[in-house]
A and B are shown apart, each in its own frame.
Chain A
Amino acid sequence: MVAFSSFVGPFVPELLLLGGMLLVLLLDVLGVRRNETLATVALTALALAFLSILGDLGFAPLGVLATVGPGALNVAPAAGAAPLYHLTSFGLIFQAIFLVAALLVVLASSSRPSGERGAPIFYGLLLLATVGMLLVAVASDLIFLLLAVEVVGVPSYLLVAYRRGEARSMEAAMKFFIVGALSTVLSFYGASLLFGAYGSTNLFVIHAAAASVGTPVLVLVGYGFLLAGLAFKVTLVPFHAWAVDVYDGAPTDVTAFLAGGTKKIGLFAFFLVFLGPVLLVHPATAGASPFGGGPLDLGPTLSIALGVIAVLTMTVGNLLALLQKEMKRMLAYSSISQAGYMLIGVTIGTAPALTGATLQILAHVLMKGGAFLVVAGVAGLGIGPLIDDWKGLGVRRPLLGAAFALMLLSLAGVPLTIGFVSKFVLFSSAVQAQGWFIWLAVAGLLNSALSVFYYARVLKVMYFDRTDPIAAIEAPPASGLGAGGLGYGRAAAIGLAAVLIVGIGLYPQPILGAIQSAAQHFLLTGV
């Protein structure tokens, strides 16, 4: 009995979500297909899972809900053990971030028209993908990790295609599937080569062996394949081209989930797979890390490769975003450039860098997830896809305009927002790390300055461009939804994201402290 509960305990959030998914499918079979009902089921499951994770993290008022004993977190496995999963407070923080992304999307989707077809598919697949996201955050075995990534990937192809009548969505799903399949094949192939070199797929075993055995060619090639495969998931340059078409063609609520949620699992996979080897070299961590003092050829190679990709990703994403005329495509390119900032954390591999990257990921969930939810809402008001179609929106809909402006300012890294805090922590960690890492901070700052141009252009259109008199006369279509046609759920989700952006921006200490101590624990075991 004890063994049973200690096995089930860590997976309570996943089980809650699976239960929610089955309930959604059961309701579908029973003929209950109203959007509001299904959204309530999904929201409840997600909220319960979120509270349970907060309890596990030691958030005092929720201690009752903790399902993992306080002594079970951050425990390094015995030497030579090869566990499939490993509970860390760092992983739990990521689970919480993933759940925030899913919660925002479901909350916004709850205000879609109640008769809409495909609602059971949408909520069922979204819950299933979220289960996969939670599993990624506890993985400590390459195959467990890659399969969990696919538990996210396979439902998300179908999420893009869930409106079967729309040619654009179907085409996006087709592209997404082909690219996703390619990424899957490459990363599994890389894992098989590492298995051949080290005789195990366990990350603890692989990291330990990388420190003592050295680096045969097989391992370098294996890591190369893993890097390429996972880079597709995170939309890193040069593996980014698919993202814009898919984000553009998918239903916008799904885009919010892809950009704000599922993309981040690839980054966590980067932490799990590459931090161990990168730590082999780093002067700042060599003393503190159990991998210190190993042969030094794998680490520098990976670190430099990641650094180059990070700078390329930021720059290419920003430059292409400057050229876009459509709001969704502009946000998609800006999403690519943000992935470059997050990658800096893995490249440097110190606790402050990891903290900055984690905060940047949380910030991106709120800013980009929130921004896509606004875009979906605005489309529902009958406003076109071009940036110029947003003329005067900030004047006509002051609250909505203010929330969107806030998200853009946070994306640009303006002070008093979470985007500023995360970039500040990230870039100052690069400066602290010395060496060529300082150039990462320089590249990041230049890119932030560059990105201000296209965010400012949207703000100018929203607030200062004169409204076309004909467009102003046209009344928004009667969607019959509350909150001025947005729907109360969507308004609540956008408001929540905006409040969190400012709240964490003004008072980041509690979250920063929690992430920092979790990152330090994480670096000690490296998985």
Chain B
Amino acid sequence: MTTLPESGFLLLSGLLLGVGVFGLLTRRNFILVLIALEIAMNATILNFVYFAAFAPHAAGLSGQAIAVVLIGFAATEVAVGLAIVLGLNRLKGTIDVAQGNLLKE
């Protein structure tokens, strides 16, 4: 294993992940939740691209390929999220996550 100048970089991606997860858990507007999801996914994608740059040739290529696949996947997930937002909005006239209170005991 080669030594990577990883500490600074991992701090950045960890911070991105932290912002994303924090947003996922605390935002009340569903659209902002989706944006938080994108931010958090990008932390992962950034990691793959970064580690790929330091990996040996073949592993580097697979790291970049994984990054591209994950970009596509993140878009899929957000599309499904938007479909749920549309359904909610049509049904209840709000996309406030905290308004959901039908499922409490």
Contact = CB atoms under 8 A, between A and B. Distances in A.
A168 B70 CA distance: 31
Residue from A168, A177, A201 whose CB has the most chain B CB atoms within 10 Å: A177
B88 A184 contact: no
Given A178-B33, A192-B48, A245 B103 contact: yes
A173 B20 CA distance: 20
Nearest to A150: B73
B37 to A, nearest CB: 5
B24 A170 contact: no
Contacts of A150: 73, 77
A424 B4 CA distance: 49
Interface string B9-38: 010000001001100110000100100010
Contacts of A181: 24, 33, 37, 77, 81
A439 B16 CA distance: 40
Given A150-B77, A170-B87, A199-B1, 15 more contacts: A154-B77, A158-B80, A158-B84, A164-B90, A167-B92, A173-B87, A175-B100, A177-B81, A177-B84, A188-B44, A191-B44, A195-B47, A199-B55, A199-B59, A329-B105
Contacts of B56: 199
B84 A157 contact: yes
Interface of A: 143, 147, 150, 154, 157-158, 161, 164-165, 167-168, 170-175, 177-178, 181-182, 184-186, 188-189, 191-193, 195-201, 213, 216, 218, 245, 248-249, 325-326, 329
**A-B complex: 7 closest residue pairs judged by Cβ atoms:** A192-B47, A196-B51, A171-B100, A185-B40, A245-B103, A199-B59, A188-B44
A185 B41 contact: yes
Contacts of B73: 147, 150
Contact of A178 (B24, B48, B69): B24
A161 B84 contact: yes
Contacts of A198: 1
Majority SS of interface residues in chain B?
helix
Nearest to A191: B44
Given A150-B77, A154-B77, A195 B48 contact: yes
A182 to B, nearest CB: 5
B69 A143 contact: yes
Nearest to A245: B103
Nearest to B79: A154
A185 B24 contact: yes
Interface residues of B, number: 45
Given A167-B102, A199-B59, A249-B102, A182 B21 contact: yes
Contacts of A192: 44, 47-48, 51
B17 to A, nearest CB: 6
Contacts of B10: 218
Given A171-B100, A185-B41, A196-B4, A177 B69 contact: no
A164 B87 CA distance: 7
B76 A189 contact: no
Given A170-B87, A174-B30, A245-B103, A189 B48 contact: no
A326 B62 CA distance: 49
B103 A249 contact: yes
Residue from A168, A181, A188 whose CB has the most chain B CB atoms within 10 Å: A181
Contact of A193 (B41, B47, B81): B47
Contacts of A216: 1
A294 to B, nearest CB: 15
Contacts of A326: 105
B70 A188 contact: yes
Interface in B54-74: 55-56, 59, 62-63, 66, 69-70, 73
A171 B80 contact: no
Given A177-B84, A189-B44, A184 B103 contact: no
Contacts of A201: 62, 66
Nearest to A153: B77
A177 B84 CA distance: 9
Contact of A184 (B55, B59, B77, B83): B77
A325 B30 CA distance: 31
A174 B77 contact: no
A167 B91 contact: yes
Contacts of A329: 105
A177 B83 CA distance: 11
Given A174-B84, A182-B25, A201-B66, A154 B41 contact: no
Residue from A186, A192, A213, A216 whose CB has the most chain B CB atoms within 10 Å: A192
A263 B101 CA distance: 25
Contact of A248 (B48, B83, B103): B103
20 contacts: A143-B66, A154-B77, A157-B84, A161-B84, A161-B87, A174-B84, A178-B33, A185-B17, A185-B21, A189-B43, A189-B47, A192-B44, A196-B51, A199-B51, A200-B59, A213-B1, A245-B103, A248-B103, A249-B102, A326-B105
Contacts of B69: 143, 147
A195 B51 contact: yes
